[in-house]
Each structure stands twice: as C-alpha cells, then as structure tokens.
Amino acid sequence: MSLVMHLAGLIPCIYFSYVHLFGGVFWYGLVVLPCTFAILVSLFLLFTQPDSQSYKIADVWFLLLAIPPVLLALTRHDMHGEFFVPPLILACFIHLPLKVAERLVLAVSIVAVVLGVNHLGIHQGIRFGIGIVATHIFAWGLARVLVKQHNELKDLAFKDSLTRCYNRRALFDELLKAKQQDKRSGIKAAIVLLDLDHFKQVNDQLGHNVGDQVLVWFAHFLQQNTRVNDRVFRYGGEEFLILFHDADFDMAYKTSEKLVSTIAKIKAPEQLSVSFSAGISVIKDGESIDDWIQRADMALYQAKQAGRNQTWPSQFTSAEATD
C-alpha cells in the first residue's frame, strides 16, 4: 500500500482504539487494536523493507484484521460501520490476489448486507445493500483492469518484442531463483546457450525480414520442444538460452541433442535448413550467475570450433573431446 493509503487506514484505527479503550466500548477497542498494530508494522516495513515478503504479509494481515471491527460496527447504532464497508471492499480488491479477494469480499458483502438490514431497518438496509453491491462490482472491475495492465506491463518488461521469449532482464531473475533453490534444497538446474549457425548469411542474402521470421520460428520451435517448467530466453541477436529446472547434465545434454536432430528434419521459413550450436553448464555451489553463463558461453564457442551443429558440455576441453 502507498503512504496515503496507510494513513487512510491508520488514522481511524488509532482513533477507534483510543476512544473505545479509554471511555467507549472496551471490547471493541480490543478488536480494533490488532488492526492498528498490523498497519503500524506495515508502515514501518514500507520505509525499511518495501520490497520484502514481510511487508506484503503485513498488508494482508491488516486487511484481514480490519474485517471483524468493520462488521461488528454494523451491529451498533453509535459506530456507523456502514461508512467503512466500501473502503474495505476497495482495499481488499486492490491489495489482495484477485481470486482471494473475489471470495473474501463476496463473503464480507453478504454478511455486511445482512447486518446492515438488521441494523438500519428494511428501507435503509436495502439502500445500503444496493450501495454495497455497486461498490463490489466497481471494485471488482477496477481490480480486473489493474491485473490486466500489470500483466501487460510485465509482458513488455520481461519479454522480447520480436520472438515473445523471455528477455535478459527476466533471465537473471530466473537464474537467481534457480541458484537460491539449489542452495536451499539442492535442486540442480542447467542452462543451454544456443546460437544459430551461419545466421548472418540469412540476413545478408535474404534480408532482415526473413531473418526475423527465422528467429520467431526458432523461438517457437524451442518452446514447443521443451518442458512446461523450462524457460526459453532470447539472449541476444541469434543467441537463445534455455533454463532447465530440476535437471542434471545428462537430461540437459540429451534434450539439446534431441533438438539438434529434430531441427535437421524440418524446414524454417523460405524452406531454409537451420542448425544450431549449443553449450551446456550445470550450476555449481558458490558460483555466480555470470560465471555460470560464462561456462556455457565457453562451451558454445568450443561447439562452433568443433564444426557447429552440435552440443558441447562446459566441463570438456578440446583435447578431452577429441579423445
């Protein structure tokens, strides 16, 4: 939540906690107090750890803890809880995952309408219910628009505009996750760095438009012939990188060689025959991401030196491969 939204929740929480603990309905003050502490923690984390998981969890706890006092306020004439239900609905849709918010807010809305009719009477209660339904629909529609825009911005930020593969910005995020998973759980990951053979000739002889068609076709080929949980990235130019999750060297090598043999049997746009060279490296303990990629890049270089259209593992040297 932003600072403004924190203040919008903090001010009434502090006010109702103080008023009811020191002269009002004591039990209600106790109900509001946890909500006050939760938003204070969230506000502290906003300034100290704005990108942490703890900050997100504190936000969720504040919204969950805000539900009981808001609904309980509908049971008393002097608390005017009807004024706080719409902001709560809006805040839940904005700050909770959409599917969670849909179910939670539906339950809150139903309870609020029932309590509102009982508290305000049939005529005022119906008006209150209509307002809640309108707020619910508006907030739900707004949340869907925000989710769509978020996904579109994420798509623009983390995907290559030509091939629709993930880009280098997304690559380092994924490699960091794989590195952390290896450190935490010992689950290995492997990368295969691929480079289309003699791609410059395609651009020089047939033009960049055909070259772009080949790149799009090759990206689709890689995505169609890898597992769902693997990731294909455009590393740069005609270079692509595949991240194999939960994979050892043998699995990555066999997959890469299968790709080499499969692509030899099919035609690219303009009936072109396409091949690629590849280098493999499996993550090592204590290794940096740059070193991990560098080993794959060195293996790719060796594959090209050895004649292209093949896969080389990073742990081999030229002499070992010859033997």
**What is the rounded CA–CA span in Å between residue 144 and residue 141?**
5
Residue tagged active-site, from 82, 174, 238, 270: 238
**What is the rounded CA–CA span in Å between residue 78 and residue 66?**
18
Residue type, 161: S
- To the nearest 10°, report the CA torsion of 135, 136, 141, 147: 120
Residue type, 225: N
Q: How many CA atoms lie within 13 A of 295 on its CB side?
A: 17
- List Cβ neighbours of 277 (8 Å cut-off, separation of 6 or more): 194, 195, 197, 300, 303, 304, 308, 309, 310, 311, 312
Residue 152: active-site member = no
Whole-number CA gyration radius for the chain? 29
Quick one: DSSP state of residue 78?
T
Going by their DSSP bridges, the two strands 231-236 and 311-313 should be labelled as: unpaired
Catalytic residues: 238
